[in-house]
Structure 1
Amino acid sequence: MKVRFAKDEDLKEIKEMWKYCFDDTQGFFNYYFENKYNKENTLVVEIDNNIISSLQLNQYKIVLNNKPYDTSYVVGVSTFPDARGKGAMKIIMKSALNELYKKNQIVSILMPIDYRLYRYFGYEHCCDQIEYNMDIEILKDFKINGNLKKASLEDIPGLIDVYKSFLKDKNGYILRDENYFENLFKEINSEDGYIYIHENEEGPDGYIIYFKMDKTLFVREIAYKNINALKSFLKFIYNHNTQFKKANISSSIDDKIKYLTLNLRNIDIKIKPFMMGRIINFKKFIESLNLNIDANLNLKVEDDFIDENNKVFNINIRKGEIEVLETNENEDLTIDINTLSQLGFSYIDTKEALFLGKINVKSKDRLKDFEKLFTKKINYINEYV
């Protein structure tokens, strides 16, 4: 098997593989390959000059601990059915991880079909969403406070402003600029979805992205600056009551809808696992942290797929100056890359990792220093490709 980056002449086979493996509408399929696909970010596996497997590394900027990182979002991991079970996925994923390391990327994300598949490669769960399923009649008593209109490209500055405000106290989110929202309009239109914006006397203060699905109104994203904008959107959803009996709303885990409804027992509220993350370059990740602490420890990192991570590192921090060096000294702590990724994405803290038995501690004194490195935060990633 040979792994390489895609060429122009590979596109037909990559498209055929995508169609076979994923149940997308023709509209979304066309959108993806016209707007997102890039051969330079696509790896393929071939045998005897025949492509059997592929994946894409879509490029974003993610904010972790108030710092932006270039990141690759792994999508489209697919293999033709006659080639499955031959190890193509292991080969292409290992190659992808090492390509990202060579490109000096520090973290990566993906949305898993099966968590077991990607845990094997060092990715770990890092982001939840809250999902509300309710009878639409529950929302009838809310009122619209402001003006609602269908959003257009001219509204992008307002959408960016709302998005920034909604995420100002969150972590692990994707930076969205004008180009991002231009693509988002194309993506939503490709699946017959809608973006509406809410305005008060001071300008845009919220937006909603939704789709009409059979008897349910599905809200993919709802962002707001204030409670009045949220209440307006809930009434806006209710105003579809002649078309839909149910509403399904996805949002950040700390969304405020649950505080506004009168009887929560009439709403099905779920925590929906959404995204996995992975540290690609452990040394550079630690060195990139903004830490006003003093600490010193030897940490053994276990990573079966990126050899440069699979070492013992001395982490020395003095007055915020961070130095991370390989060492031949004995380790104070041992941890695998999966747990480190959850810590690095601030999904869990060190005490939780200890409770779960994910850290092997040889020095309790050095454990106190390790605990200073990570804090738990609320992550919100809502990108689909």
Structure 2
Amino acid sequence: MDATTAPQFGPPQGEQELAAAEDIVCQAFAMPPEEGPAWRKRIEAGGAQLRVLREGGSVAATVAHFSMGQWFGGRSVPLVGIAGVGVAPARRGQGTGTRLMQTCLRELRAQGVPLAGLYPATQPLYRRVGFEQAGSRHEIRVQLSGLDFQERSLSLRPIQEADLPAIHDVYRRHAQRQQGWLDRGTYIWNRVLRPRGEPTAYGYLVEGHAGVEGYLYLSRRVAPHGLRQELSLSDLVALTPAAGRRLLSFIGDHRSLADEVVWRGGAADPLLFLLREQTYQVKHLFTWMLRVLDVPAALQARGYLAGLSGALHLEVDDDLFPENRGRFVLEVENGEAEVRPGGDGDMKLHVRTLAPLYSGFLSPAALQAAGVLEADDVSLRTATALFSGPPPAMPDMY
């Protein structure tokens, strides 16, 4: 099948379209041309699906997506991550990016996907197709001089291949307690083990009588000012306070070599609470976005606080999916949700506004203050209770 007879949207057909897709991505993300094939092989190894949009008989734009999950209210909601969005330079400014994303989202919704997420290079494009801000990613930079821990009660050793199932289980147990962390698939785990633009990541775990309690993956790079090092963590997880102190002790043991350690996560990392002094900086890096593709399915898949009950009458507007338009009743009983059509529509909002409400990124009152949500006082109180939780954050990039 050649490019003139292939469907307008779908996997690249043949070496010519693959090369065109790689070239578009390299130009969109300022990568050297020779890195295109390596990029494609990397995403394919992680299970990502590469798609192209054809216009005028040639490849006009690219997008890659991959399946995973995202933790909300203690439950993993199926999520497709969007990456590698690029438009051929000659096609820019002609609505190609919007058509690409609309077509991609239609395909995903038809497959039963309730949520899509991405890190935006530009927000207007993604807002046009229903995405909105839903959580943050922060850089945490700690001075090793402040890591004066001497915790040795747990043993620490390098991670072996046989440890990976236990490591994945520890991560999952920790991520389930968070809001917005990814339920990782192969693509994200590959990025943890082989962080892009970083030296090799070395893994270390801590364990007690009950097994693995925490771990980290650490890369060492020469600091800009000379012979000293900077430590970069592509993952840092502690299930217990003792594991947190043991990992911080291990990092502090590098004081003769390095001045700082950096990792990514949320603004209120509990490990920082263990430090004697405020010998750290927390810097906002990105705000990620969500798109609710299926309103009832997404609301029902999410977790809610155990013991919590209430009903919220929503009226949702969606420019892309007629199935999402209209009134829905979210009924939560002891943390379990059911969604049915109908109701009084006491809370009116666009599907874009549903994203930060759903994730807990902005409170109902904040969304009302921004002029993107209409509701009476009872609905505001109910929504505040239903969607309460820690600020949504994400240590991973995709």
- If the length of structure 1 is used for normalisation, what is the TM-score? 0.83
Q: Structure 2 vs 1, CA of residues 30 and 138 (structure 1 numbering), >3 Å: closer, same or farther?
A: farther
Task: Tell me how large the CA RMSD over aligned residues is.
Answer: 3.3
Q: Which residue of 2 aligns with 1:15?
A: 22
2:348 corresponds, among 331, 334, 355, to: 334
In the alignment, the residues of structure 2 paired with residue 274 and residue 63 of structure 1 have an alpha-carbon distance, to the nearest angstrom, of 17
Q: CA shift at 1:45, angstroms?
A: 1.8
Q: CA shift at 1:28, angstroms?
A: 6.7
In the alignment, the residues of structure 2 paired with residue 236 and residue 102 of structure 1 have an alpha-carbon distance, to the nearest angstrom, of 48
After superposition, the C-alpha distances for 1:354-384 in whole angstroms (9 at most, x for unaligned) are 23332123x5555555555433334343332
Q: Which residue of 1 aligns with 2:311?
A: 295
In the alignment, the residues of structure 2 paired with residue 123 and residue 189 of structure 1 have an alpha-carbon distance, to the nearest angstrom, of 26
1:351-370 equivalences in 2 (<5 Å): 351-361=365-375, 363-364=376-377, 370=383
Q: Does the 8 Å contact 1:73/1:110 carry over to 2? A: yes
Q: CA shift at 1:267, angstroms?
A: 2.6
**2:79 maps to 1:71:** yes
In the alignment, the residues of structure 2 paired with residue 137 and residue 154 of structure 1 have an alpha-carbon distance, to the nearest angstrom, of 34
Report the secondary structure of 2:20's partner residue. Answer: helix
1:261-280 equivalences in 2 (<5 Å): 261-264=275-278, 266-280=279-293
Report the secondary structure of 2:394's partner residue. Answer: coil
**2:45 maps to 1:35:** yes
Report the secondary structure of 1:245's partner residue. Answer: strand
After superposition, the C-alpha distances for 1:311-343 in whole angstroms (9 at most, x for unaligned) are 22142749677452268xx84332122221111
Kindly provide the amino acid, as one letter, of the partner of residue 168 in structure 2. I
Q: Does the 8 Å contact 2:137/2:285 carry over to 1? A: yes
**2:129 maps to 1:121:** yes
Q: Does the 8 Å contact 2:202/2:219 carry over to 1? A: no
Q: Structure 2 vs 1, CA of residues 287 and 162 (structure 1 numbering), >3 Å: closer, same or farther?
A: closer
Q: Which residue of 2 aligns with 1:222?
A: 236
In the alignment, the residues of structure 1 paired with residue 286 and residue 201 of structure 2 have an alpha-carbon distance, to the nearest angstrom, of 24
Q: CA shift at 1:13, angstroms?
A: 1.8
Gaps of 5+ in 2: 224-229
Q: CA shift at 1:76, angstroms?
A: 0.5
Q: Does the 8 Å contact 1:287/1:322 carry over to 2? A: yes
In the alignment, the residues of structure 2 paired with residue 91 and residue 232 of structure 1 have an alpha-carbon distance, to the nearest angstrom, of 51
Q: Which residue of 2 aligns with 1:283?
A: 296
Q: Structure 2 vs 1, CA of residues 142 and 280 (structure 1 numbering), >3 Å: closer, same or farther?
A: same
More deviation, 237-246/41-50: 237-246
Q: CA shift at 1:35, angstroms?
A: 0.5
**2:68 maps to 1:60:** yes
Q: Structure 2 vs 1, CA of residues 218 and 365 (structure 1 numbering), >3 Å: closer, same or farther?
A: closer
In the alignment, the residues of structure 1 paired with residue 74 and residue 144 of structure 2 have an alpha-carbon distance, to the nearest angstrom, of 37
Gaps of 5+ in 1: none
- If the length of structure 2 is used for normalisation, what is the TM-score? 0.81
More deviation, 339-348/19-28: 19-28
2:91 corresponds, among 83, 98, 104, to: 83
Q: Does the 8 Å contact 1:222/1:251 carry over to 2? A: no
After superposition, the C-alpha distances for 1:42-68 in whole angstroms (9 at most, x for unaligned) are 331222321121001111122323333
In the alignment, the residues of structure 2 paired with residue 349 and residue 185 of structure 1 have an alpha-carbon distance, to the nearest angstrom, of 32
Kindly provide the amino acid, as one letter, of the partner of residue 315 in structure 1. V
Report the secondary structure of 1:172's partner residue. Answer: coil
Equivalent residue pairs, number: 375
Q: Structure 2 vs 1, CA of residues 374 and 226 (structure 1 numbering), >3 Å: closer, same or farther?
A: closer
Identity of aligned residues (%): 17
Q: Does the 8 Å contact 1:348/1:375 carry over to 2? A: no
